[in-house]
A = this chain, B = another copy of it.
Amino acid sequence: MARTPVPGTRDTILTAAAGLFYRYGVRAVGMAQVVEVAGCGKNLLYRHFPSKAELAAAYLTLARRERERAAAEALRWANTPAEQLIALVSEIAESTRRPGYRGCAFRNYLTEFPGATDEPAQVARGYLADSRAVVDRLVSELGGDALLADRIWLIVDGLHSGPPEQARVALDWITELVRPSDQGQ
């Protein structure tokens, strides 16, 4: 008889890989390292993820789900478009201050693999494009123009790339931009 497959093995492997990929970079981490941390055999890893690219794609997809979960949670108490924008940026700002923060997983991947068009790159670009679309939609609902959306996205980009100290500066600025009446409050 076959041995009972341990449930959640895929998640165990993916969690281990995600932690390593985010912390050290996808290129820097070998499959051997992943199996070591996951505590399983190589065999099992390649059963669940046929290639490193697919594992990286799964890692970014997991990261996307986490980001979307956090965003949805942040939006629970936000009603107006302005409050929603502030809530989203506030969530990002908080995440940059958490220990172990190493920048945006999607931007990092695209920096590690410039010009890549493989599955992980598509996941990364897809997330960034969709995030940008959300900003555009909220700014539009707010009554803002394309310039305001561009500026907010510029700050979001800077927020992801710069040091965590910039988080508050970025959040305050966004708040000022989407709630002009609160200027100098």
Chain A residues proximal to chain B, CB less than 8 Å: 23-25, 27-28, 102-103, 107-108, 111-115, 147, 150-151, 153-162, 166, 169-170, 173
Contacts and interface: CB of A to CB of B under 8 A. Distances in A.
A97 to B, nearest CB: 15
A114 B170 CA distance: 23
Please give the count of copies of this chain that the complex contains: 2
Given A114-B102, A150-B169, A161 B107 contact: yes
Query: Majority SS of interface residues in chain A?
Result: helix
B151 A157 contact: no
B161 A147 contact: no
Nearest to A165: B150
Contacts of A108: 111
A107 B112 CA distance: 11
A147 B169 contact: yes
B157 A153 contact: no
A24 to B, nearest CB: 7
Given A27-B28, A112-B112, A156 B153 contact: no
A49 to B, nearest CB: 21
Contacts of A147: 169
7 contacts: A25-B114, A111-B111, A151-B173, A154-B162, A154-B170, A157-B162, A161-B161
Given A24-B114, A27-B27, A114-B24, A155 B158 contact: yes
A169 B157 contact: no
